[in-house]
Amino acid sequence: MIIRDDFLVRKVEKSDRNQLSNLIHFEFYVHRHLDWCAPLDWIGQQPFLVVEHKEKIIATLVCPPDPKSIAWIRLFASTAEFSASHSWNALWMEAKSNLIDQFNVSAAVSISMKPWYQSLLERSGYREIQRVVLLEWSQAEVKVLNHPALKIRPAQKDDLKIIEDIDAISFAPLWQNSLNLIELAFNQAVIASIAEWDGQPVGYQISTSTPSGGHLARLAVIPQYRRRGIAAELVTNVLDFFSHSQLNRVTVSTQHDNFSSLSLYKKLGFIRTGQEYPILEYQF
């Protein structure tokens, strides 16, 4: 698609990697999804588009569907030399066409952490559907049910398909992770656990380390086994791990309207930090 005679929207090529790296790391207008996958690792999947001007890449948009029904905006970046709005409009028009013609997606979704980016989304027809809130552990004493039927064990590589199945049962499509992303998460985890009830895998957690402590990245218990203290036991296991690792700050995020999760984290000593980020959706 041609924007003007010397502006071109095209698919990314492997040879674009160095230019894209500079764009991501040195430009002001950059949105990066909170992702297990680095932006340039999506090269080879589509839609991954760039705007080129006189053989120079001035903007990029990455939104491959993963899971298959949802296209998260993984990356948008634009040089300050040109209008970020014009770059976004050209890229989104092409990406939207690709998503409609080539993929059976129900929605495109993005989390916004910067006002300029949220404005671009809203002007393109995206609407806020939820907010993500950040909580922090305050190191309160934790008392949870220690049921004889419940066992928390370390997750192994062989458990990834089990985790994928639990994930699919536990979350709405918007929040599900593919097996590929689960494997990436597992590889980056400092502690990953499986919860078994009478030997049956019913829940899991994946947590990572941060420069200031730990982060509980994924937590799930399949619906029919909830309200038995399983989630609390999984979280307590994580808090105990980070405490013994001398990491005194543990964070977690959840949706503003996920009242069961918010109640659980409050009981376990987490407090809201005041940081909230909107989730915006474009429905096809």
Q: What is the CATH number of domain 134-277?
A: 3.40.630.30
Report how far residue 187's alpha carbon sits from residue 192's, in angstroms, rounded to the nearest whole number.
Answer: 10
Fold observed for domain 2-125? Aminopeptidase (3.40.630)
Report how far residue 232's alpha carbon sits from residue 202's, in angstroms, rounded to the nearest whole number.
Answer: 13
pTM of the model: 0.92
Other Cβ atoms within 10 Å of 100 Cβ, number: 11
Report how far residue 101's alpha carbon sits from residue 112's, in angstroms, rounded to the nearest whole number.
Answer: 26
**In this structure, what token pair is assigned to residue 120?**
């671009």
Report how far residue 163's alpha carbon sits from residue 46's, in angstroms, rounded to the nearest whole number.
Answer: 26
User: What residues does 222 pair with on adjacent strands?
Assistant: none
In the chain, which residues fall in CATH 3.40.630.30? 2-125, 134-277
Report how far residue 275's alpha carbon sits from residue 92's, in angstroms, rounded to the nearest whole number.
Answer: 28
**Per residue of the chain (284 residues), what is the pLDDT tens digit?**
445 567 899 999 999 999 999 999 999 999 999 889 999 999 999 999 999 998 999 999 999 999 888 999 999 999 998 899 999 999 999 999 999 999 989 999 999 999 999 999 999 999 999 999 999 997 766 666 678 899 999 999 999 999 999 999 999 999 999 999 999 999 999 999 999 999 999 999 999 998 888 999 999 999 999 999 999 999 999 999 998 887 779 999 999 999 999 999 999 999 999 999 999 999 99
Nearest CA among 193, 219, 211 for reference residue 247: 211
Report how far residue 61's alpha carbon sits from residue 57's, in angstroms, rounded to the nearest whole number.
Answer: 11
